[in-house]
Amino acid sequence: MQKISGGVTVAAGFQAGGIACGIKKNGQPDLALVYSEAPAVAAGIFTTNVVQAAPVVFSKQQLRNDTAQAVILNSGNANACVPDGTATAEAMARAAADFLGIPSDAVLVASTGVIGVSLPMTKIQQTLAGRPEFISAEGGRAAAQAIMTTDTFPKEAAVEFELDGRTVHIGGMAKGSGMIHPNMATMLGVVTTDIAIDAAMLKRALRRAGDLSFNRVTVDGDTSTNDCLLILANGKAGNASLETDGPEYQLFLEGLITVCQDLARQMARDGEGATKLVEIKVTGAATESEAVTIAKSIATSNLVKTALFGEDANWGRILAAAGYSGVTFEPGRVRIYLGDLLVCENGCGLVFDEARAKRVLEQSELLITVNLGAGSAEASVWTCDLSYDYVKINGSYRT
């Protein structure tokens, strides 16, 4: 398994691109298209929010046949909680289909941006009707840029590996900086691969990869109306189709998890106003589920996150957040590490070098480990610190 540069166009037979069509007031790119030259097996996972944007509902319906050939995405407007949302999502699919010369039922739709404002669909239609040459096999980066909202950089990841004597590629792009919480986040993600795989196995792999990546990243505890992670597999690698579990499927799953975790970590690193990427790792748990629950509780604690911003080794906040997670454990067995510095043992504080702790917390990437002393299960959740700038960004998001 080798990480490589690139995103949604590293896999054979995929093109992508991004263009400005006037949705964003600042004139930046706001429309992206990902296209497979051949029909692809497809799957998706979506927000768990009861309030779901029209593109989420529409793409769920489109995936009933487990196939797709393109994804059209826009930023700057969520197409959520508006009376014309469904019609707009359908019109986006038709516009992309006409542009690409494929059936409209082969197009998935995703949107991100302000909620409650009608999407100016005519701008998208007019832009695509002009037949701009903006998609290509080198257009993955432009597509990743076009889906950004408050993101400060485009997010891409890719891997390649040998399978069945063939070179297989998996590439992805994502956006997300705020309104991010486990069980999806304010994120759009598109993953492409040239592997040949059965629809049921692709769904299974995406669910597991999503659980280990995008469902384990949190910035601010808010779950969006528009979250979606979509995957297209067009079979261009020419391998024997993966129909059952086995070594080949597990290798593909490893690659998919690698790409998704890379993108999830980038999202946490780029959290609105964030200065640090933080991994909360819970070890010594009785079960993986309990480790995940405790890690999420710590990762979403505003008191923990503000202490990390202030570079204050306030480990008591970490233990307290674990304690209210809903998981029962023995506090007298807990050890807490900031980096490799032990600050709490058997549930009690230690005398430690404050200057050394400060140096650990000054790092742009840091690891907090909580060992429960209760078993062998473990899990990680990625988060970031909570800074002054988070309030500034979200205090004026609509304007």
Distances in whole angstroms, Cα of residue 72 to Cα of each of 48, 136, 202, 288, 318: 22, 14, 21, 36, 41
**Which H or E run contains 319?**
helix 315-323
Structure token digits, residue 283: 């070890």
Number of residues assigned to the chain:
399
Establish whether 186 is an annotated binding residue: yes
Please tell me the distance from the alpha carbon of residue 260 to that of residue 43, in angstroms, as a whole number: 15
Distances in whole angstroms, Cα of residue 355 to Cα of each of 74, 217, 274, 307, 363: 47, 29, 23, 15, 13
Please tell me the distance from the alpha carbon of residue 199 to that of residue 242, in angstroms, as a whole number: 9
Establish whether 330 is an annotated binding residue: no
Reply yes or no on whether 122 is catalytic.
no
Please tell me the distance from the alpha carbon of residue 281 to that of residue 369, in angstroms, as a whole number: 5
Structure token digits, residue 246: 């086995």
Please tell me the distance from the alpha carbon of residue 279 to that of residue 295, in angstroms, as a whole number: 9
Write the CB contacts of 64 (distance below 8 Å, at least 6 apart in sequence).
none
Q: What angle do CA 63, 51, 71 make, to 5 degrees?
A: 30
**44 beta partners:** 230
Any alpha helices (H) in 134-246, and if so which ranges?
Answer: 140-146, 199-211
Establish whether 149 is an annotated binding residue: yes
Establish whether 293 is an annotated binding residue: no
List 127, 186, 218, 383, catalytic entry: 186
Establish whether 383 is an annotated binding residue: no
Binding positions for substrate: 149, 175, 186, 272, 394, 399
Binding positions: 149, 175, 186, 272, 394, 399
Which of the residues are catalytic?
A: 186
